[in-house]
Amino acid sequence: MKSLIKGTVAGMIVSVALSGMAMAQTIRMGTEGAYPPYNFINDAGQVDGFEREVGDELCKRAGLTCEWVTNEWDSIIPNLVSGNYDTIIAGMSITAERDKVIDFTQDYYPASPSFFVAMSGQSVDLKGGVIAAQAATIQAGFVAESGATLVEFATPDETIQAVRNGEADAVLADSDFLAPIVAESNGELEVVGQERIGGGIGMGIRESDGDLKAKMDKAIGSMKADGTLNTMIKKWFGDDAATF
């Protein structure tokens, strides 16, 4: 009986959705939800962070209804191309390698440096030691080519853990992610180096989805033009953050 009711309700929703297709198009926004302050799951269980705020504003300007979905970083591109969601907005740097598989909008966050972070008071060999990085990131690629031993982890949090428990000498990740962690570590962690890797951060979109890319490009452009994007960057990354 219950399933019967559910089925009927679902059927009604489907028919309503079909008839309302001409109205606002619904776009599913894929993010990782584990990379504060870019994106994270807040205490209420909702996607929050810089990208949530930017994404919601972009959808408003592009006249789209947006639904937020989280997905593991590892499989975030395969799930985009197979159509489980329509955009990747997850602190993903625009790289030539990724651009072969998906398309990127113009950047909504300018290039920022990456930090090496290690336990305080230790001399770390950044070119020959053991460096932790999240798998399939530009930082992991950088470490692999630098001559250091790369240890990869599925989530950003695990890379920090690896440094704390001595599995890795240092971690390489975006400065915006590491800075608050170092600041709140009571002096246990410190920044031991920095590196400029990669360009800005853009929204990933399927190559066959030119319409959506055009809409988002336009919306990002307008947010750059009227300064709202810079305000949001300052709110989430501090006054010293690079702006447009």
Partner 1 sequence: MFEFCVEPSQLQGLTWLSCYLTTGKHMAFYTSFGTVLLLLALTAPTALLFGFCGAVASRSAIAPLRWIGRTYVAMVRGVPDIVFFLFVPIALDQGFEYIRHMALCPEVTEPIRRGNDFVVCTAAKLPLNADPQWMHETYGFLLAVLSFAIVFGAFAGNTLRGAFEAVPKAQIETAQAYGMTSRQLFWRILLPQMWIYALPGLSNLWAILTKATPLLFLLGVEDIVYWARELGSMKTSAFSYPHPNWQLWYFLGLLVFYLLLTWVSDRAFARLMARFNLGQGRTGSDTAAAGVGR
The distance in angstroms from the start CA to the end CA of the chain is 57
Question: CA 43, CA 36: separation in Å to the nearest integer?
Answer: 13
Q: How far is the CB of 76 from partner 1 (least distance, A)?
A: 11
Q: How far is the CB of 51 from partner 1 (least distance, A)?
A: 13
**Interface residue with partner 1, options 53, 56, 57, 84 (CB under 8 A):** 84
Site string for partner 1, 18-47 (x = CB under 8 A): x-xx---xxxx----xx-xx--xxxxxxx-
By CB under 8 A, how many residues form the interface with partner 1?
51
Q: How far is the CB of 39 from partner 1 (least distance, A)?
A: 11
64: DSSP letter:
-
Q: How far is the CB of 145 from partner 1 (least distance, A)?
A: 25
To which residue do tokens 């399939």 refer? 136
Q: How far is the CB of 23 from partner 1 (least distance, A)?
A: 9
Give the DSSP per-residue string, 8-36. Answer: HHHHHHHHHHHHGGGSSPEEEEEE-SEET
Site string for partner 1, 115-154 (x = CB under 8 A): ----------------------------------------
Q: How far is CA 244 from CA 174, 197, 223, 233, 241, in A?
A: 18, 18, 10, 9, 10
Q: Which is nearer to partner 1, 122 or 208 (CB)?
A: 208
Q: Which is nearer to partner 1, 37 or 198 (CB)?
A: 37
E strands, the chain, are 26-31, 34-35, 39-41, 47-48, 65-70, 87-88, 103-104, 114-119, 130-134, 149-153, 170-174, 189-195, 204-205
Q: Which residues face 116 on adjacent strands?
A: 172, 193
180 belongs to the binding site for partner 1 (CB under 8 A): yes
Q: Which residues make up the interface to partner 1 (CB under 8 A)?
A: 10, 13-14, 17-18, 20-21, 25-28, 33-34, 36-37, 40-46, 49, 65, 67, 69-72, 75, 78-79, 81-84, 86, 101-102, 155, 157, 160-161, 164, 180-181, 184, 206-209
